[in-house]
Structure 1
Amino acid sequence: MRILVAEDDAGSRRILEAAVTSLGHECVAAIDGEEAWRLFETVDVDAVISDRMMPEMDGIELCRRIRASGRDTYTYFIFLTGFDKKADVLSGMEAGADDYLSKPLDLNELRPRLLVASRVTSLHRQLSQQSAQLERLNRQLFEQARTDPLTQLGSRLKLSEDLENIHARADRYGHSYSAIMCDVDFFKAYNDSKGHLAGDDVLRAVARTLMNTARRGDQLYRYGGEEFLILLPEQSLDDGLMAAERYRQAIEELAIPHDSNPTAKVVTISAGVALLSRIKGKSVGAWLNEADAALYRAKQQGRNQVVRTDAE
């Protein structure tokens, strides 16, 4: 362990340093509480052995500051006290100390206390590492639940959470959003002829192209099956139509062969666009239904095209 020794008496400090070193530990020494606190802030220590009475800052204040420091790792704290001052032990424990040693120092008393300190700090390190690992896993699970595993776009859960915020911003601040609902044309026929693995490759390629074509701020989700949803903040309906056409062209330019697409002979998408704004006063559900209805019209009219909602 690395042990910080705080002792204003030079002779006692040298004895304590020698004792700590003789037991195989690294020692960092301070001549008073102020210096001990500065060292604690800059040096990673496992334990502190501090005299209770020191100039500038006493051991009680040093202990309180260490306990309030918020360090991830636990610092074991041992007070030094004279035989005639054992009544001060309670106040030291109340300040956050773990143990105490009586003056003059007895090596046979120091050894077991440092063994306990080593076990306690080691246990706290393990717990801290496990806690950090659990936090990382929780973050990963949080992100995984909000990411579609096939396309790496936002999942329906992520969409549901984002829609709540979008509706609140539109209602409170008057922000407007365009929604682009799109899906892959004749995708079932592609699956039937090429197989589901090839179909998954197409969905990944489409999603990747949508992400590469997206502008900063565009929010992309896999809505379900071969259907995708793109939300464009602070965009008018005309802006949404231009963006949807940009997405449509990017997919067509992939030139993925699709013999079951009777006109294009490559993979294409159809898209419907709708607007959400406070002026329109519609619900999020109605907004997405309008985009979906526009998508349906795009398909009825021959696919591989962009259609705006009738509601506008």
Structure 2
Amino acid sequence: MGVHGSNDVVNAWKQEVLNSRGKDAEHTLKCCLDIERYAKEHKDAALLGFAYFYSGETYYLLNDVEHMFRNIAQAIHLLGQTGQWELIARSYNLMAISSVNKGNVSAAMDYYLTGLNYCRKYGITKMEISIMQNLGNLYMENGVYHEAQSYFEKAYSYCRSNPDVKENYVGLMASYVNLARCYMLQGMLDKTHAYIEKLDAECASYYEDIDILYVDCLKARYYHLIHNYVRRDAQIQEIVEIINKNVQIMEVFDDLCDFCGLMLEIGRDDVLWMIVEKLDRIVKDSGVINLQRRVISIKIKGYRKNQDNAGYLQAAGLYYELSEIMERENKDMIVNMLYVRSSLERANESRREMEAVNVKLLKQSETDQMTGLANRYRLNAYSEKVLDYCYEHRLPLAMEILDIDFFKQYNDNYGHQQGDECIIAIADELKKMEDRQTFCARYGGDEFIIIYAGASAEEVYAKAAALRQNIMDLKLEHLYSKALPIVTISQGISYGVPENGNRSWDFLHTADMLLYQVKKRSRNDICIADIRGQELDLSSKQEKVEP
């Protein structure tokens, strides 16, 4: 879960939250408040995110949308900081469902898609299946069947990838029901029948009462469409029996609303008004205006069909009043959305600032402070990476070590400040060389490293010779040099295609030996050889270097 805090009392609070969530709202909120206080006192962001999330979830179950949104908004920022990605995905799913219940489809779509992105990025498969089912239903309810079918099929493929049907039957059942219903709404009854058969064959043995109710609503509509009224009426009777067991019918609210439409269509007023009465009581207790409107809409259709003018007018008036309340609620929903957006934007801005600081610190840790070139730390990482790349792609690699001729004498006679300026001047020339194939670093003191990737031996030698000439062109006075009265450099270069087992040290060790040979021989010169130290005679192919 990624929640910090090892205190036994805190762990007990957390377990209490997980045990009581969805069962005892008051106790859950009390535990969350205790955790929140502790987390703030101990500056535990992960624990605080945990508390805000489960507070938000509890307010969602209580239909307290304002408190739900505010807690979830605070949770998302902290959950993102501490890598609790599953809770973030669940947060967006909750906000989306609340938006659907409030009738705000566009907000719901935005939240679902954001949650889906987190699931895909961090591999949260179980939550991804739930969100895809919810997205599919949102499209299906609005008549966009092709998109709905696409999400249902993706969810189905994820469910099928889990061989344990018993563990995964809820997701599999939802996929079959949703696909069957989607095809049924498009008039493709043969495909609807195929998925009903899959339900009976693969899921029926695991059904609980609420699952039977869910599936029977689909079957009743299907059998009516194919004119199998005996099977239809059998499903209706089973639905009535299950509803009278006092199951949690709000879990299949949409399915029962559609089923009520069927009852209205076939004149089963007894079943219609029995279900409407139960739904009416539940949605009033929920306080969700949009759900109340949907039940009243069914009533209005029933009164109109039965020519009950008094009932019709009363229901129509109540529908209008609820619509006005819902309009105000939608404004509140927009305020909540803006609050969430602004909270997330502040969190993102804080994250971006932190990332910028981290990038700056990383760059500082990899950069030689005096010259601005890469330092030894970055050199070590880059050299191994480029060697592996060249080995894998069979590309030539060259590593050069160079230093300033008679630099000790320069430092002793011109002073350390002047010596630093000399090193900086050399580094500036190296910076001009850097490109996608050429990497330069300060090795330490007056020594520098150049790495050439994918260049021919002739190209490497030409670049090295050009660097030597450019440094001489600076005409930095060095009257204490035994090479020339100006600053010069000596260069040792190892070259070749990396072989299995080679490491960057092999190239650098050879380059160091070649540099020693140049110093021993004459200074102000270049020596290039293969990794075994066999010199390559390329000097005749280059233009003569002039002091």
TM-score normalised per structure 2? 0.39
Q: Please state whether the residue corresponding to 1:147 is helix, strand or coil.
A: coil
Q: Are the counterparts in 1 of residues 440 and 449 from structure 2 also a CA contact under 8 Å?
A: yes
How many residues are paired up? 243
1:272 aligned partner, one-letter code: G
Residues 178 and 231 of structure 1 are in contact (CA less than 8 Å); yes or no, is this contact kept in structure 2? yes
Alignment of 1:112-261 (within 5 A): 121-214=341-434, 217-261=437-481
Tell me whether 1:311 sits opposite 2:536 in the alignment.
Answer: no
Cα separation, 2, equivalents of 1:307 and 1:252 = 18
Query: What are the equivalent positions in structure 2 for 1:36-185 lying under 5 Å apart?
Result: 52=101, 59=104, 62-69=107-114, 85=283, 87=286, 89=288, 104-105=324-325, 121-185=341-405
- Aligned-partner Cα distance in 2 for 1:287–1:90: 74
Distance 1:115 1:164, change over 3 A: same
Per-residue deviation at 1:60? 5.3
Residue by residue over 1:18-60, the C-alpha shift from the partner in whole angstroms, topping out at 9 and shown as x without a partner, is xxxxxxxxxxxxxxxxxxxxxxxxxxxxx9997847xxxx535
The counterpart of 1:265, out of the listed 485, 505, 516, is 485
Offset at residue 113 of structure 1 (A): 8.1
What's the offset of the Cα at 1:282? 3.7
Cα 1:256–1:126 shift into 2, 3 Å: same
Q: Secondary structure at the match of 2:371?
A: coil
Label 1:170 to 1:111 Cα distance change in 2 as closer, same or farther (>3 A): closer
- 2:113 partner letter: A
CA contact (8 A) 1:181 1:228 kept: yes
Shift of 1:171: 2.5
CA apart distance, 1:105 = 3.0
Q: Which moved further from structure 2: 205-214 or 114-123? A: 114-123
Task: Give the match for residue 224 of structure 2.
Answer: none
Local SS of the residue matching 2:372: coil
CA–CA separation in structure 1 for the residues paired with 2:462 and 2:99: 71
Report the Cα distance in structure 2 between the residues aligned to 1:295 and 1:227, rounded to whole angstroms: 11
CA distance in 2, matches of 1:137, 1:91: 47
Provide the rounded CA distance (Å) in 2 between the counterparts of 1:279 and 1:127. 49
What's the offset of the Cα at 1:258? 1.3
* Alignment-derived partner of residue 98 in structure 1: none
Contact 1:213 1:250 in 2 (8 A): no
Note the C-alpha offset of 1:112: 8.7
* Percent of aligned pairs sharing the same letter: 26
Contact 2:396 2:456 in 1 (8 A): yes
Which gives a bigger RCO, structure 1 or 2 (Cα 8 Å, sep 6+)? 1
Structure 2 vs 1, CA of residues 91 and 302 (structure 1 numbering), >3 Å: closer, same or farther? farther
- Amino acid across the alignment from 1:300: K
Q: Does 1:299 pair with 2:519? A: yes
Higher helix share: 2
Q: Is the 8 A contact 2:101 2:288 kept in 1?
A: no
Aligned equivalent of 1:17: none
Per-residue deviation, residues 130-172 of structure 1 (Å, max 9, x unmatched) = 1110011112222222222221222212211112222212322
- Pair member with larger Rg: 2
CA 220–136 in structure 1, closer or farther in 2 if over 3 Å, else same: same
CA distance in 2, matches of 1:153, 1:189: 24
- Structure 1 residues 91 and 209: alpha-carbon distance in aligned structure 2, compared to 1, 3 A threshold: farther
> Could you tell me whether the CA contact under 8 Å between 2:399 and 2:449 is conserved in 1?
yes
Deviates more, 1:182-191 or 1:103-112: 103-112
Structure 1: distance between partners of 2:439 and 2:338: 51
Classify the secondary structure of the residue corresponding to 1:304: coil
The answer as to whether partners of 1:170 and 1:276 remain within 8 angstroms in 2 is no
Distance 1:277 1:109, change over 3 A: closer
Shift of residue 108 of structure 1?
10
Deviation at 1:240, TM superposition (A): 2.5
Deviation at 1:279, TM superposition (A): 5.3
Alpha carbons of structure 1 residues 265 and 210: separation in structure 2 relative to 1, 3 Å = same
**Residue pair 1:256, 1:266 contacting (<8 A) in 2 also:** yes
Residues 207-238 of structure 1, C-alpha deviation per residue, up to 9 Å, x if partnerless? 11122245652111111111111111122334
Find the aligned partners of 1:278 and 1:117 in 2 and give their Cα distance. 57
Q: Give the 3-state SS of the residue equivalent to 1:230 in structure 2.
A: strand
| Greater Cα shift, 270-279 or 219-228 | 270-279
Relative distance call for 1:110 and 1:213 in structure 2 (3 A) is closer
Structure 1 residues 139, 88: CA separation in 2 closer, same or farther (over 3 Å shift)? farther
Higher relative strand content: 1
Equivalent pair of 1:237/1:273 in contact (CA under 8 Å): no
Q: Separation in 2 of the partners of 1:88 and 1:174?
A: 70
Check whether the contact 1:180–1:240 (CA below 8 A) recurs between aligned residues: no
| Structure 1 Cα separation of the partners of residues 290 and 411 of structure 2 | 76
Which consecutive residues of structure 2, in runs of 5 or more, have no partner in the other structure?
1-94, 116-279, 292-321, 535-547
Structure 2 contact 510–533 (Cα < 8 Å) conserved:
yes
- Equivalent residues in 2 for 1:16-27 (5 A)? none
What is the CA-CA distance between 1:123 and the residue it aligns to? 3.9
1:172 and 1:121 mapped to 2: Cα distance?
46
